[in-house]
């Protein structure tokens, strides 16, 4: 094939045999019957390699799908007809950790968990913590503005991006800003690319903001006999000004499913709050006593508090296994991601449960209660056509409910191709129009992730 020869001549490492490219036809979104293989997978080693890739693709009118770890839940990095995949596993270097400036410069393929470990050795902290942080890449986290449980206190990925190096559709390299903490010089192009899901350009490097690492963290598990009591507990904890880094909510189905497939000593209550405090160890211990008082006054029936990092990690490992455990209930699992105001969390969860009961769909619900980001995990059998019809009703209504409750379609998983049909439901008509115009300005030939969002 002429295209393969051109990539080889440009000294770009590629995969092109069917068995080698087949795994790149999928991410963690629901599998479709019409599997589309990429023409090839390019593995750049540098920004200059990415420029060459864009030049070849532009010449042959090929589409470009940027891919990190492939953990996207919304078909954000699946190939389309006539496309290649650019995979960043070779661009995985931490180029600089600057303790004085509180910054790190990294390539797109760096693993989030690896970065956290490395900066931690310098007493620094990169707070964003997607649940798949042991495999999730910085490039993917930027593309989706990934969040995680710590978003309540520390914000999401967007709050830690200072500058990006981006290869544009014409092969030009853009620096979106300068490597300084404050910058209001011109439009904020950096934030334009954060959350753009690979539709505007290819992010090759990022300058990240770091903060001093908290001395210690301790996790509290509080069990409740009702969702309403748990929600009241969330409000009381927030009102107390304890400033927890995490306030997660798990329903009974999630608790029991985790305990069934990853036994962790969790108890079968209607709801559980998972609350993490961080800071000076003596200060945390004092705050933990106050937290316990607040939770007891909020009718928590059982409270378990970790005493050290090992117990923390055991709790978090169980929490992060929720998706995998749900996947053992049925052959397939779909995880959704909607956001509502905090006072709408309980009404939304109750509506989801009713919807699923009425349509005989198995669901485990969890979420970041501090910021209203709810994740229903649906256990399904894709081969059961009737069940999939019922699930389609549930999914449509879920997004309608989120918007009706003054919420939106996604807090951290993105839109991809799975949710694009609902996008105009959630956006102001004028903002939707201008988003499409921005796409046209940066990518007039529509080569970057062409079937996402719009």
Three-class DSSP labels, 322-383: HHHHHCCCCCEEEECCEECCHHHHHHHHHHHHHHHHHCCCEEEEEEECCCCEEEEEEEECCC
Report the distance separating Cα 90 and Cα 35, nearest Å: 26
pLDDT surpassing 70 at residue 437: yes
Give the Å distances, CA to CA, from 438 to 62, 63, 140, 432: 21, 18, 21, 10
The residues near 118 (Cβ < 8 Å, ≥ 6 apart) are 94, 97
CB 383 within 8 A of CB 264: no
Residue-level pLDDT at 137? 97
Mean pLDDT of 167-190: 96
**φ/ψ bin of 432: left (φ > 0), alpha (ψ from -120 to 50), beta (otherwise):** alpha
% of the chain at pLDDT higher than 90: 90
pLDDT tens digit sequence for 131-167: 888 999 999 999 999 988 899 999 999 999 999 999 9
pLDDT tens digit sequence for 244-287: 999 999 999 999 999 999 999 999 999 999 999 999 988 999 99
Torsion of CA 72, 343, 394, 148, to 10 degrees: 10
Identify the band that residue 30 occupies on the pLDDT scale cut at 50, 70 and 90.
Answer: confident
pLDDT tens digit sequence for 387-425: 999 999 999 999 999 999 999 999 999 999 889 999 989
Q: Are strands 246-251 and 332-335 parallel, antiparallel or unpaired?
A: unpaired
Which helix or strand (DSSP H or E) is residue 232 part of?
helix 227-239
Report the distance separating Cα 241 and Cα 230, nearest Å: 18
Average pLDDT, the chain: 95
CB 121 within 8 A of CB 101: no
Mean pLDDT of 5-29: 94
Burial of 383 (0-12, 13-18, 19+ CB in 10 A): exposed
Residue-level pLDDT at 362? 97
pLDDT surpassing 70 at residue 33: no
pLDDT surpassing 70 at residue 340: yes
pLDDT tens digit sequence for 77-120: 999 999 999 999 999 999 999 999 999 999 999 999 999 999 99
Instruction: State the maximum Cα–Cα separation within the chain, in Å, rounded to a whole number.
Output: 71
Residue-level pLDDT at 36? 93
pLDDT tens digit sequence for 342-381: 999 999 999 999 999 999 999 999 999 999 999 999 999 9
Angle between helices 227-239 and 281-297 (to 10 degrees): 140
pLDDT tens digit sequence for 118-129: 999 999 999 999
Residue-level pLDDT at 346? 95
Residue-level pLDDT at 453? 85
Give the Å distances, CA to CA, from 180 to 102, 188, 194, 209, 236: 10, 13, 17, 9, 38
The 3-state DSSP class for residue 180 equals: coil
């Amino acid at each position: 094939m002429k295209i393969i020869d051109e990539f080889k001549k440009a000294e770009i490492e590629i995969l092109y045999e069917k068995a080698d490219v087949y795994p790149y036809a999928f991410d963690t979104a629901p599998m479709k019957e019409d599997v589309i293989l990429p023409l090839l997978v390019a593995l750049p080693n540098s920004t200059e390699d990415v420029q060459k890739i864009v030049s070849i693709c532009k010449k042959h009118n090929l589409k470009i799908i940027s891919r990190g770890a492939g953990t996207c839940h919304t078909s954000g990095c699946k190939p389309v007809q006539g496309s290649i995949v650019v995979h960043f596993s070779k661009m995985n270097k931490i180029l600089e950790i600057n303790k004085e400036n509180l910054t790190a410069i990294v390539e797109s393929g760096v693993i989030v968990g690896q970065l956290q470990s490395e900066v931690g050795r310098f007493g620094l902290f990169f707070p964003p913590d997607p649940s798949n942080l042991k495999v999730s890449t910085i490039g993917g986290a930027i593309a989706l503005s990934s969040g995680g449980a710590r978003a309540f206190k520390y914000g999401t990925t967007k709050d830690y991006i200072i500058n990006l190096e981006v290869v544009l559709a014409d092969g030009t390299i853009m620096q979106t800003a300068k490597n300084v903490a404050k910058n209001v010089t011109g439009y904020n192009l950096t934030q334009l690319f954060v959350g753009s899901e690979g539709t505007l350009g290819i992010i090759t490097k990022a300058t990240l903001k770091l903060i001093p690492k908290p001395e210690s963290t301790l996790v509290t598990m509080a069990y409740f006999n009702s969702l309403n009591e748990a929600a009241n507990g969330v409000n009381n904890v927030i009102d107390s000004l304890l400033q927890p880094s995490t306030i997660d909510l798990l329903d009974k189905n999630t608790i029991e499913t985790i305990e069934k497939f990853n036994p962790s000593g969790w108890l079968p209550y209607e709801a559980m709050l998972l609350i993490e405090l961080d800071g000076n160890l003596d200060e945390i211990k004092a705050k933990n006593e106050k937290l316990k008082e607040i939770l007891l006054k909020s009718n928590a029936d059982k409270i378990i508090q970790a005493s050290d990092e090992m117990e923390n990690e055991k709790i978090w490992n169980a929490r992060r296994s929720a998706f995998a455990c749900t996947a053992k209930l049925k052959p397939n699992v779909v995880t959704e991601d909607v956001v509502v105001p905090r006072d709408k969390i309980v009404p939304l969860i109750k509506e989801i449960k009713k919807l699923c009961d009425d349509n005989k769909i198995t669901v485990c619900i969890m979420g970041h209660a501090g910021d209203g980001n709810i994740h229903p995990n649906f256990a399904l059998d894709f081969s059961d056509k009737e069940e999939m019809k019922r699930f389609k009703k549930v999914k449509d209504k879920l997004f309608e409910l989120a918007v009706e409750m003054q919420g939106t379609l996604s807090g951290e998983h993105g839109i991809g191709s799975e949710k694009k049909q609902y996008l105009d439901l959630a956006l102001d008509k004028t903002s939707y129009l201008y988003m499409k115009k921005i796409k046209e300005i940066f990518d007039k030939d529509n080569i970057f992730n062409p079937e996402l969002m719009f």
